[in-house]
């Protein structure tokens, strides 16, 4: 009797190879664990993926870089949603458009429970990842905002006194001081004050 050749039979016969771990599946599992509040343990991750730890390290680089990718994915998702909302409002232009995006991002990060659970469970490592460039996150944040500022400057909608890269660097630092200030200096996170500082820096006035 010949073997069944239905789509289900073919899928089942190929399932083992399809389920082999890849760098992307490693990232997805690590991100899911982090969102669930689990600590990032590369040995356990490799075991769950049924691969060697050396293979996992080759894929992700190291724990800092993997965590950097997870944090970047969170930020990029929030950033893209904020851009989409601001673009949907035709009344928002120039500094108001940028301020809306900036404020939305800061509010979302302040309210992001997985992020703050992570920071309170591993504050030293978390702040180091977020506020230095050991995981490449800072460069990505600055580059994202630099491009956005350049676009608005070229369109003639803003005319800041700083160059776009310096501007991006400082607004990222201001945002960090608002989002993580409970850990840095014991203050309550405040997106509104960060928005005022953003307007002053980008446009020269707060209104």
For residue 10, what pLDDT is reported? 67
Residue labelled with tokens 């082999």: 20
Report the pLDDT averaged over residues 119-146: 93
132: left (phi over 0), alpha (psi -120 to 50) or beta: beta
What is the value of pTM for the model shown?
0.86
Report the pLDDT averaged over residues 106-134: 92
Rounded to whole angstroms, how far apart are CA atoms 17 and 96? Answer: 51
Quote the Cα angle for 159-165-171, to 5°.
Answer: 80
With beta carbons less than 8 A apart as the criterion, state whether 199 and 176 touch.
no
Rounded to whole angstroms, how far apart are CA atoms 49 and 28? Answer: 11
**Per-residue three-class SS string for 129-156:** HHHCCCCCHHHHHHHHHHHHHHHHHHCC
Report the pLDDT averaged over residues 142-162: 95
Task: Please check the confidence at residue 205 and state whether its pLDDT lies above 90.
Answer: no
Give the chain's end-to-end CA distance (angstroms, integer): 80
The pLDDT tens digits of the residues spanning 62-81 come to: 999 999 999 999 999 999 99
The pLDDT tens digits of the residues spanning 166-184 come to: 999 999 999 999 998 887 7
Banded model confidence at residue 3, pLDDT cuts 50, 70, 90: low
With beta carbons less than 8 A apart as the criterion, state whether 20 and 35 touch.
no
Picking from 72, 75, 19, the residue whose alpha carbon sits closest to that of residue 50 is: 19
For residue 185, what pLDDT is reported? 74
Report the pLDDT averaged over residues 37-63: 95
Spacing of C-alpha 110 from chain mean position: 13
Rounded to whole angstroms, how far apart are CA atoms 207 and 202? Answer: 11
């Amino acid at each position: 009797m010949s073997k069944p050749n239905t789509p289900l039979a073919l899928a089942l016969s190929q399932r083992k190879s399809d389920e082999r771990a890849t760098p992307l599946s490693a990232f997805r599992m690590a991100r899911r664990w982090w969102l669930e509040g689990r600590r990032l343990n590369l040995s356990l991750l490799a075991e769950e993926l049924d691969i060697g730890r050396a293979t996992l390290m080759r894929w992700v680089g190291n724990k800092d870089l993997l965590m950097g990718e997870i944090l970047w994915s969170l930020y990029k998702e929030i950033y893209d949603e904020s851009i989409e909302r601001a673009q949907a409002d035709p009344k928002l232009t120039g500094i108001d458009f940028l301020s809306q995006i900036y404020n939305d991002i800061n509010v979302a990060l302040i309210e992001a429970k997985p992020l703050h659970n992570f920071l309170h469970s591993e504050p030293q490592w978390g702040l180091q990842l977020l506020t230095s460039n050991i995981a490449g996150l800072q460069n990505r944040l600055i580059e994202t905002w630099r491009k956005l500022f350049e676009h608005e400057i070229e369109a003639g909608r803003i005319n800041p006194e700083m160059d776009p890269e310096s501007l991006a660097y400082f607004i990222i630092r201001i945002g960090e001081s608002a989002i993580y200030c409970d850990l840095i200096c014991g203050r309550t996170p405040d997106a509104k004050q960060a928005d005022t500082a953003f307007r002053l820096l980008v446009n020269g006035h707060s209104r």
